[in-house]
Structure 1
Amino acid sequence: MLIISKFNMTRRLILKIHPLSSQNSILSHYLPFSYIQKQSYVNVYMKWKQDFYLESIESVHRSIELRPILALKNYIVSVSPQEYSIPISAVSKKGIHFGVHIKVARFLRQYPSVFEEFTGPEHNLPCFRLTQRAIELHKEERDVYREFNDDLILRLKKLILMSCVGFGEKKVLPLKIIKGMQWYLGFPDEFLTDPEKNLDGSFEVVEMSDGLTGLALKNNNLNDRVLSVMQKNAIKRGWDNETIPFPIFPSKGLRLRRKIIDWWDEFQKLPYVSPYENYNSLIRPDSDAAEKRVVGLLHELLSLFVEHCAERRKILCLRKYLGLPQMVHKAFERHTHIFYLSLKNKTCTAILKEAYFEKGAIDTHPLAKVRKKYIKLVKESTFILKRRRFSNRACDGRSVNVNAIDCEHDDGSEKTELEAS
């Protein structure tokens, strides 16, 4: 009775303070137990299982090794476009700029199939030039840039259209963010050094509110004409364009619990939101529908890249500008049927499974074949170095003067094994 009387006194006091409010709304506002809160986000955990096929793809895992090699190659070409050679002093103190964390001379000597060492004309300093095969691949790479220039520009437009940051009515991304993704998108260096000169008229350089220099799209109507890879494939297969399910590729030997299967079936039935659409007013950020939008954006982002993969930490740098949640890395861990996380090379690489398990579902990047040829060329360095070590060992053996060897307990009556040979 005492508790009821205290509750009635509190109720009368509230009604006196808010005489114009209804009783139900006041009680529901002040009494937290008077309404039920619903949560549409289901917390599931997917087991990670190693995929030996994805772990063995050289174009994915040797990309980290190839990046500084091509950066040095491009620098040599820019400095000496005729002779393709530089003295070591030109790059000896620029290792960090090229992503090289050891002495640059030592790094260049590790790849004799790409860089050839010779003695310079002045002061007998070591110099390096590109091998003939490296020059041929460089010219082939430049031909690809010229032939598929429109394709590369379209990929840049799509990346900017994913941005949730606007400059007036235009979508914009900071130039430093685009440069950070340049390797994955396969852009040539001149694309971003002078965008207004090297890109078409649909781009403009703007100053963003946070003081950064951004690259914006002038034509906003382009947003209506761009379809994601998921939408294009749905049209080809005759699927409903509203609830597009993700193609899944389960890891071999991985069995899911029944409740996870039920959650996944419901997740696939949720509406698909294109990464090029404005989502802010459509989806609650703490819902499964918002998670499907994040998964769709990551799927589209990886489909734009050369190897359809990227270091996970690089993708996290886009979080602020693509409207991704704080725990965006959970999307890779919860959707192991769509993405694969490789821990090779002491880094975490996110790989889009569809690009490697379903042929023709995602367009091949124009630069992919050239990079595979570069990797094949780089691999030849291992055999060249082995051959050199073997030949040096053989030369050292032939130069030994047997008569000069002092052997204890040798009276000269018997030949040593070395003399006999």
Structure 2
Amino acid sequence: MDEVSKRRMSKLLRKHAAVFKLTYKHHRAQEWIELRDFMQEIMEAERQAIRDRDEKLSVSIGASDSAQELEQECAFPVDFDGFLRRYPEDFRLAGGSRMVELVSWDQSLAVTDRERAVEAGRTQRILGPWAFVSTFPKKFEADRIFWEEFDKFQTLPMPSPYEDPGNSADPSSLSGEKRLLAVFHELLSLTIEKRASLAKFKGFKQELRLPEYSDALLASHPRFFYVSESNSRQMAFLREAYRENDRESIHGPAKGGVQGAAGEKALCI
């Protein structure tokens, strides 16, 4: 490297000293450029996101066009069809590349984010294995009837979205409603930012038996989801994924009507 290039490089490194650091090796005979620790952590997080994306693809099935609609939300590759063709042992494109099918099924990957939350203790064990992580405003107050109904819904058994085709529960029943929430919970958990436009889920309506009233369904369960509308576009958010100063996650009911009186609390993550 000539002197001009060295000066330019030195100027660049000084400008971005928070990202790069200079080290010396071989008894200071050689100068090395390294990334600082936090940048290495960011790069590792990016590599993990790519691995997570591949894992998501390995348990996906449905319309290829619909999956591509979630390209940005799920960090899918731009050449989605080309990516799938590189793994013929896992995926098959059919219907003129409009449908993607699983060639093989790996049961070990069919674990929902909600199930992992239960295993990690992010829900109160007394609510059982079918509870969602729930969030409430600080100083939330409710009567005993509210908590009884909330407990009833949280403890209601339901099948995994990966196991149930959607025909076993009437969507108008409480168990059918909870199954639909579990499907949306898993779909949103598979996105990078834990949020997505509800319009992008329309392509999965037939495969996942999603209802026409998805916005009203999610909005009726504000402890688990948040639905916003901007410029005629409805966005669904997974509540537990967003940390807010005025919100806490309650792992179980707060008896006595005042949030926090007896319930275990943790910051919403």
Please indicate, yes or no, whether the TM-score normalized by the shorter chain is above 0.5. yes
Larger radius of gyration: 1
Kept in 2: contact 1:338–1:354 (CA 8 A): yes
Contact 2:228-2:235 within 8 A present in 1 as well: yes
Aligned pairs for 1:303-382 within 5 A:
303-344=189-230, 347-357=233-243
Letter in 1 for 2:174: D
1:291-349 per-position Cα deviation (integer Å, ceiling 9, x unaligned): 11111111111111011001122234422221122322222111001111223455321
The answer for the alignment partner of 2:111 in structure 1 is: 227
Aligned equivalents of 2:192 and 2:267: distance in 1?
15
| Structure 2 residue aligned with 1:294 | 180
Count of aligned pairs: 205
Distance 2:48 2:118 in 1: 29
| 8 A Cα contact 1:243 1:268, kept in partner | no
Between Structure 1 and Structure 2, the one with more helix by share is: 1
Relative distance call for 1:178 and 1:337 in structure 2 (3 A) is same
Q: 1:356 Cα shift?
A: 1.6
Contact 1:231/1:241 (<8 A) preserved? no
For 1:280 and 1:295, the matched residues in 2 are separated by 12
Match of 1:215 among 71, 80, 100: 100
1:66 match: none
Structure with greater strand percent: 2
1:93 alignment counterpart: none
Superposed CA RMSD: 3.3
| Distance (Å, rounded) in 1 between the aligned partners of 2:230 and 2:54 | 31
Conserved? CA contact 2:131–2:154, under 8 Å: yes
- Seq. identity, %: 23
Report the Cα distance in structure 2 between the residues aligned to 1:325 and 1:244, rounded to whole angstroms.
21
Give the structure-1-normalised TM-score. 0.43
- Of 161, 165, 171, the residue aligned with 1:275 is 161
Give unpaired runs (5+ residues) of structure 1: 1-140, 161-171, 363-421
Deviation at 1:155, TM superposition (A): 1.1
The alignment status of 1:248 with 2:141, answered yes or no, reads no
Matching residue within 66, 74, 85 for 1:177: 66
SS of match in other structure, 1:249 = strand
- Give the TM-score normalised by structure 2: 0.64
* Aligned position for 1:67: none
Q: Distance in 2 between matches of 1:252 and 1:144?
A: 32
